[in-house]
Every structure is written in structure tokens, then in C-alpha cells.
Structure 1
């Protein structure tokens, strides 16, 4: 089996998209997360992934909610495995699947220079108090990197 496009691999730094939220943006007042359940129920990720990969994918979204910038994860698969409380080797194997836990997560450049994984969602857009709009980003940037697209 050849590695899926979801498996982490080297990329040209110039090709990385810039993450639209700043490391200073916070969602501290939001202790809950909106979830578009109908979209999730019909998504490619849910319909094609193993139950384990679906669970880990959802856990990563929840973990990313508390990271900085909001909606990002570290690139290091060993750290991700620790955050998910699973064996790093097993996590690496799952990431090689077409619908692994990192399905449609992609590398991005953050405003502090870090390279992280992102899946920007309408969740971040809705609950960030219009941070993207305040920063001059329009709905096209939010749509361009939406979790809704990641699920489907």
C-alpha cells in the first residue's frame, strides 16, 4: 500500500498557506463546540474511515480547539500520539490510511513562524468573535480552508 496524501511528508515552505488566525486569538469563553452533525454524518471521513480513525479525527479537532493558534496541531506525530494517548507506531500506521486521523489536515505557516497542522473550520470562524473579519479576512478565506470541506 502506498502512503496516502494524508501522511506527513516534506513540503516546500513557500507552498505553505498562511494560517488566518493569530497566536493571540483565543476562544477562552467558549467551553463548548458547535458541530454540524448532519454534514458529519454524510461526510467522506465518516463513511470511509475506520471507527478508530473517526474517533481520533474527532479527538484531534477537540485538541486543536485549545491549541495556539486555535484550530492547529503540532506537526510532530509523536506528540500527536501522546495527545491522543496511543502508541506512536500505531498512530503512524493509521495516518498512512486514505482516511486516517489526519485526513485533510495540512501544514501551514503561523504568524509566529511555527509550522503546524490546520483544519480551519466554520467553528473557529463563528466563535472567534469575527476575528477573521476584524483582521481583514473575508468569507472566502474561511471557506477556502473549512472543516466542512475537510469532512466531505
Structure 2
């Protein structure tokens, strides 16, 4: 089981915990949840709750996954009932049972101060998914960087740079950074653009006495 982020207590209503997933982080592109079905099958909740409550509880998990912040629910019974498509009177009836669909859910504050509900099991799933999302973004960024650096020597030669310049690893890295800053995508690295960047870098270097 993955370690959960620290839920620090913030001021306000009964010292509520601060939800660790930031507002704005949504997982709508994740088409599956890393649901620990064995934990669910063995859980006290699953073995004691009615079938109707269990069904709605699973829907709550799924709904919360796509909420903002990811893994939370609004702290409003009408909104929650609408999210799981249950009439409000039926929802209240389910919640009045000895084990209701919101068992295990707790109040928290988000980074914007909003009052929301979270469930430790859902938080664990969201934490793992957000880490996988972050790793994926980092891998894609690293792959883009590798491809840019591999293509740059040939682009420099076509721009009129010498073979020595095109083999200078330090220059290639500095030129890549300069192009990203001054000629960012979607600007294509055509010969005239690369030539202009090299000339501007050379002029700036001379002015700085480098």
C-alpha cells in the first residue's frame, strides 16, 4: 500500500485536515482507477453494508475521482445525490442506515479553503494516479528534450555553423535553451531561426566579454 501524503491540520471548523491534492489537478484522462478489489472484498464496510449502499458507495468513488480536487466530494447532500443520480429522499434514506454510503468519508479543507469530503482509500488511488501522471509528463518532457538535442547539430550545420560548433555539446545545450526561451514552439527551427539565435548568442557573449 502506497504511503499517503501528510494530512496537516488547518484552522477552521474543528481543525480540519488540509487535503494534499491541489485544486486544478484532474485525472479525466485516466480511464481506469487502481482499485484494490481484494481490500474492498475483505473490508468491514463491504461485508456489512446493504447491496444498495455498496452500489452507491462505488459510484461515489468513481465520481470523486473526476472531481476537483481529484478524490473529493462536495460537502452538500443535494449535490452528492445529484452526482450519483439518486433522488434526494432516497439518498437520505440510504444515509440513515446503520452503515451508509458516506461511511469513511471525512471533511477537509482544500488549498483554496473550500470545504470538501475525502476518503482515505480514494485519496490513495488518486495519489498513485497523480504520481503516474507526473512521471508520464516528465518522461515525455525528457523524450522531447532528447529529440531536440539530437536534431540540433544538423540544424546548426544547415544554418551555416561549422562542424566544430555542431559538435560542441555545451553550445548545443545553450542554443537549445536559447531557442526555447526566444523562439518557443510552435516556431520551427528552420535554418534562418537557428542562424539568428546563434548570432544573437554571439552578440550577447561579446557584450558580456565572454
TM-score range, shorter chain: 0.7 to 0.9
How many residues are treated as equivalent by the alignment? 121
Partner Cα distance (1:97, 1:91) in 2: 10
- Is 1:24 aligned to 2:10, yes or no? no
Matched residue, 2:53:
53
Distance 2:31 2:71 in 1: 15
DSSP-derived class of the 1:13 partner: coil
CA RMSD in angstroms comes to 1.9
Deviation, 1:80, is 1.0
What pairs with 1:34-49 in structure 2 (closer than 5 Å)?
34-49=34-49
> How far apart, in 1, do the equivalents of 2:14 and 2:80 lie?
25
Q: Give the helix-richer structure, 1 or 2.
A: 2
Displacement over 3 Å in runs of 4+: none
Structure 1 stretch displaced more, 83-92 or 58-67: 83-92
**Corresponding residue of 2:140:** none
Question: Which SS does the other structure have where 2:108 is aligned?
Answer: strand
Work out whether residues 26 and 67 of structure 2, in 8 Å CA contact, stay in contact via their aligned partners in 1: no
- SS of the residue corresponding to residue 107 of structure 1 reads strand
Distance 2:24 2:81 in 1: 26
Deviations 1:48-89 (A, max 9, x none): 000000000000000000000000001110111111111112
Where structure 2 has 5 or more consecutive residues not aligned to the other structure, the ranges are 1-11, 134-210
Radius of gyration: which is bigger? 2
Match of 2:130 in 1: 128
1:74-89 correspondence runs (5 A)? 74-89=74-89
Structure 1 unaligned blocks of 5 or more: 1-11, 132-152
Q: CA deviation at 1:113?
A: 1.3
Distance 1:22 1:105 in 2: 18
Q: How does 1:84-123 map to 2 (within 5 A)?
A: 84-120=84-120, 121-123=123-125
Paired with 2:94 and 2:111, the residues of 1 have a C-alpha distance of: 30
Residues 14 and 69 of structure 1: is their aligned pair in 2 closer, same or farther, counting only changes over 3 Å? same
Q: How many angstroms apart in 2 are the aligned matches of 1:17 and 1:97?
A: 26
Q: Deviation string for 1:102-144 (max 9, x for gaps)? A: 011011001111101111432111110268xxxxxxxxxxxxx
- Residues in 2 aligned to 1:40 and 1:14: alpha-carbon distance in whole angstroms: 30
| Higher RCO (CA 8 Å, separation ≥ 6 residues) | 1
